[in-house]
Structure 1
């Protein structure tokens, strides 16, 4: 199979999804209307609620939901072959992730920017909402702890990425001031910002930063993890326009440039002697290594981000909905944000599949389930860019490593902000008012406690990561459940939500049960993961029961009154 043909087919599917299916959702299902007053205007406070240019907001949303997961998931899933990974990424993005992310953003905007957790109380019931928050809390804790460890690993293994990683913060601060205080044109600011960012990448490649074995009395691992937690805490408290928005926007532009370079290397490589070649990865691998789980249901939870992810719903309803300027912008921000992540996941599949030169290389990399990851993407993509575009190997690696680090970092600081909201919301449920500084302190303590729970090497940060896939997908199914109830109440077509809901819930619940047995295997039992998995399963079952009851009630209850602007739009459609 030619990687160029695979790329063209993948890009065509994703393009059709945005141009055709998202348009149907916007007009017929969600019925977007510019006359609706969004929360960013109604509740504007200059900190969390800020009307934002849709391109800047897309950058924030996209890079926040991307992180390292759309790289890690597809990289691991290639052990079953490139065909299953390719199909789940492309079709999942179009019919699952796009609908889910777009819908979560729309639902929150229509409810004064409330989070998915808060919406569950209104549309599913108070009993289900409390359990829903437990799932959200566990998922965010996983993201914060694990991403801190992943970023630390990349900063240590790829020291050329250190300068651009931290220099990007300075660039973002300047971009924020230029756009919001000096009112400079966005295009000009973007060009200067991207040039500055890539200048930092070139500088980082020339000046790698390698910390000594002991730095300020700490190992490099401890130092970077602590630094990331301090950064995350401050970033979550700053007004979104100061750092969060401009940082994520510039990172989003940088990602697309990186993807253009990666995809361009594949195309140009056809005409270069040592360039792109036929994919050596098996289309469907029937000889998986011993210990590899079954492709069904594990494929559907191994590739979460890049196909569908519950974390996206939290970002859509947690930060993005509070910054949406016009309701019609939600199609571009939500659905195209999912498409952007699909492009990253597709790029990962191509980078590793086409970057490997021989079957022996592939077999060595995939000799054990879970061995491949971000580093495989960096190395495979680096080889493609070196052979196809003639970029030095070190610079190619630095570009991709920086891209991976910056995405993980944006998910980290967004995760901090979201978890702060969740802690405050949980406090309200027990009549306890928690300030944002106290809530942020709780997040730092819990996150660092988990990260260092098994030693100063940060192993604890990945302690409960094996549960991320199932928890994330169960969260996605519960979000789809809320969307289905809303659509039924409004007497709109609920099937775009119900079909993905059924598939994702069955697969993720099946995977959770499979994992439960594996955690209790004699001789290798992990009772902590067993206990957490039990909590997640029980919570999901009760929320699902409450959700089914809500769907049944919604079908028999009188139609939900439409807002004046919705009535006006309905009349226009009839005319």
Structure 2
């Protein structure tokens, strides 16, 4: 490290330390969002400039002289050398789903400080490390999936367990993400038109970059971005046109089947034709919007209205979600700091597209830092609005009531003053009938961002900014479904490859179509059942989303430890071992508590027992409208308890098998 690098390290460290001191300790004046940005950005630069370099050139000794799988196994379908910026776009778009938008918003219930601590620190030392480690390991092993890597080192039984855990969790994750898209685009012609317009635009870009003018990335980018901006403008025209708006107004069921069809073709078609260019295109909208939001926050520098720690950080029984800071905060924030889903992309499509080994820093570590920055923006949007407004948006109707008067009275009694007139006025400004109980995080993010932009453009455009943010969220989430389905196809082919030889070849058309159809059919079934039944399908498995995703991250980091040990890199085991240990302790604890916690607001079994007792007494709990629904909720609780216990047990088994192999490798060395 030369003098310049040392000076940069010292300066950035001082900036981070001072910003963190202001946010965590200094209380003499209100804190502004600029301090959160300064704290996060300084740590991101430190992590990328120094830690990712250490991992790349010390731990793995990457060299552009080594041919990547894209060159060694080029087939024009899955293995295709890809421009690093196009691949960065694909990877960032693929990993950036609902998590970084909604998780930090929900976590704001505890105050701004827990999110400010975990989001950037978690990303730098765990999330980005996981993504880069798995991407590099998969690249070094010929683009193999995470399950195939596990099978290589744990044997058939261990590999089968890992593949089974990964594939079943992936189906849940894809169905959850698809349901979010369905809810956001159904009956919205603007969102539907713009989202679906990206498909033909992306195919045009793919044909241009790989067939018409090979390598002409800048020209294809100019064409794609121009058409994307045009589609945004036309989307507004379509939404207000009496005939076209009807043509692009789809029901939830129609959107669900449209997503299934799209997921199948995104998985089966050559990666250069649809998947990579569409994700690259979506990244321009994602990153462009995030940069605009970041500039808006920098210019406005809104005051942080939420306390550093609310009373719910101490009690764990807030109105938005219930659970203590440890271990449930990390589960709630999820993808903004660490996400197991990323490991599937890092061992799925991306390692098969790397042109050079050195690109793992930008694609693996850099993409995760980008997603973490999205999470910081989401956190700022939540904590810069009035706390009373935040709780009115995110608290369920069963807690705050269904009228503005009742909600204002209840929320004010918590110490967060808000009036019924303020709630009604906000609904009018954004063009909605009400803002009460728009739970889930996404509406609160949209309103928070709209309020920041309105400080620049005026309240007259508040409705426009709100609907633009909603559209941004839809495009943000949609890109994870296509890549996730393709990764699911790889995993299923790995699972079946041990029995049916043709499935081992990713380019085999029959195996490709069969695995793609099966994967889509599985998550599509849960999606469809959840769309037509508020207590069925993926809705019944929704509570497992956060825990299963973090268990997947625990598994991925454990496999990374195994690879480092098997390849003789014992002095670097801590790089993967420390975040793996942290994730294992936190996530397994959360899984156990979620199943066995005695409070029915937290534990699955306690909740099932609570409803059973009410039913036995001839009563119905709040929010449950019939005894038939009560029985279904009880069954859902038992199902979630079983699956939660099963996933915790299987991941624990993987950890034990890995420890055995690591100790054996250590003794041999």
TM over 0.5: yes
Contact 2:390 2:444 survives alignment (8 Å): no
CA distance in 2, matches of 1:172, 1:419: 22
- How many aligned positions are there? 548
Structural mapping, 1:276-291, within 5 Å: 276=302, 278-287=303-312, 288-289=317-318
Name stretches of at least 5 consecutive residues in structure 2 with no aligned partner. Answer: 1-30, 400-437, 504-510, 597-602, 612-633
CA distance in 1, matches of 2:257, 2:43: 42
Map of 1:465 onto structure 2: 542
Residue of 208, 216, 240 corresponding to 1:185: 216
Does 2:462 align with 1:393?
yes
- SS of the equivalent of 1:448 reads helix
Contact 2:174 2:523 survives alignment (8 Å): yes
Contact 1:516 1:533 survives alignment (8 Å): yes
Contact 2:106 2:441 survives alignment (8 Å): yes
Does 2:658 align with 1:547?
yes
Contact 1:159 1:210 survives alignment (8 Å): no
- SS of the equivalent of 2:537 reads helix
- SS of the equivalent of 1:464 reads helix
What whole-Å deviation, never above 9, does each CA across 1:47-106 have from its counterpart, x for those lacking one?
000000110001111110111111121111111111111211100111101110000000
Map of 2:387 onto structure 1: 359
Map of 1:446 onto structure 2: 522
Q: How far apart are 1:10 and its partner, in Å?
A: 1.4
Indicate how the Cα distance of structure 1 residues 237 and 281 shifts in structure 2: closer, same or farther if over 3 A, else same. Answer: same
- SS of the equivalent of 1:332 reads helix
Does 2:233 align with 1:155?
no
Structural mapping, 1:295-314, within 5 Å: 295-314=325-344
Indicate how the Cα distance of structure 1 residues 455 and 97 shifts in structure 2: closer, same or farther if over 3 A, else same. Answer: closer
Does 2:110 align with 1:80?
yes
- SS of the equivalent of 2:239 reads coil
Indicate how the Cα distance of structure 1 residues 168 and 393 shifts in structure 2: closer, same or farther if over 3 A, else same. Answer: farther
Contact 2:70 2:353 survives alignment (8 Å): yes
Contact 1:236 1:413 survives alignment (8 Å): yes
Map of 1:520 onto structure 2: 605
CA distance in 2, matches of 1:188, 1:318: 28
- SS of the equivalent of 1:311 reads helix
Higher mean C-alpha displacement, 343-352 vs 193-202? 193-202
Map of 1:408 onto structure 2: 477
Contact 1:34 1:327 survives alignment (8 Å): yes
Indicate how the Cα distance of structure 1 residues 252 and 303 shifts in structure 2: closer, same or farther if over 3 A, else same. Answer: same
Map of 2:585 onto structure 1: 506
Higher mean C-alpha displacement, 153-162 vs 304-313? 153-162
CA distance in 2, matches of 1:241, 1:209: 35
CA distance in 2, matches of 1:433, 1:176: 28
Contact 1:310 1:475 survives alignment (8 Å): yes
Q: How far apart are 1:341 and its partner, in Å?
A: 0.6
CA distance in 2, matches of 1:194, 1:454: 35
- SS of the equivalent of 1:239 reads coil
- SS of the equivalent of 1:292 reads coil
What whole-Å deviation, never above 9, does each CA across 1:205-253 have from its counterpart, x for those lacking one?
33328999xx99x970101111111111111111010011111111112
Residue of 560, 568, 589 corresponding to 1:490: 568
Residue of 352, 365, 382 corresponding to 2:450: 382
Contact 2:190 2:236 survives alignment (8 Å): yes
Indicate how the Cα distance of structure 1 residues 198 and 457 shifts in structure 2: closer, same or farther if over 3 A, else same. Answer: farther
CA distance in 2, matches of 1:551, 1:133: 20
Instruction: Give the structure-1-normalised TM-score.
Output: 0.90
Structural mapping, 1:10-409, within 5 Å: 10-156=40-186, 158-183=188-213, 185-208=216-239, 220-270=251-301, 276=302, 278-287=303-312, 288-289=317-318, 292-354=322-384, 356=385, 358-367=386-395, 371-389=439-457, 392-409=461-478
- SS of the equivalent of 1:293 reads coil
Indicate how the Cα distance of structure 1 residues 501 and 220 shifts in structure 2: closer, same or farther if over 3 A, else same. Answer: same
Higher mean C-alpha displacement, 301-310 vs 237-246? 301-310
- SS of the equivalent of 2:228 reads helix
- SS of the equivalent of 1:45 reads coil
CA distance in 2, matches of 1:256, 1:454: 31
Contact 1:478 1:543 survives alignment (8 Å): yes
CA distance in 1, matches of 2:240, 2:66: 50
Q: How far apart are 1:187 and its partner, in Å?
A: 2.4
Higher relative contact order (CA 8 A, sep 6+): 1
Q: How far apart are 1:380 and its partner, in Å?
A: 1.4
RMSD of equivalent CA atoms? 2.4
CA distance in 2, matches of 1:165, 1:120: 37
What whole-Å deviation, never above 9, does each CA across 1:538-564 have from its counterpart, x for those lacking one?
211211110111111121223xxxxxx
Contact 2:530 2:539 survives alignment (8 Å): no
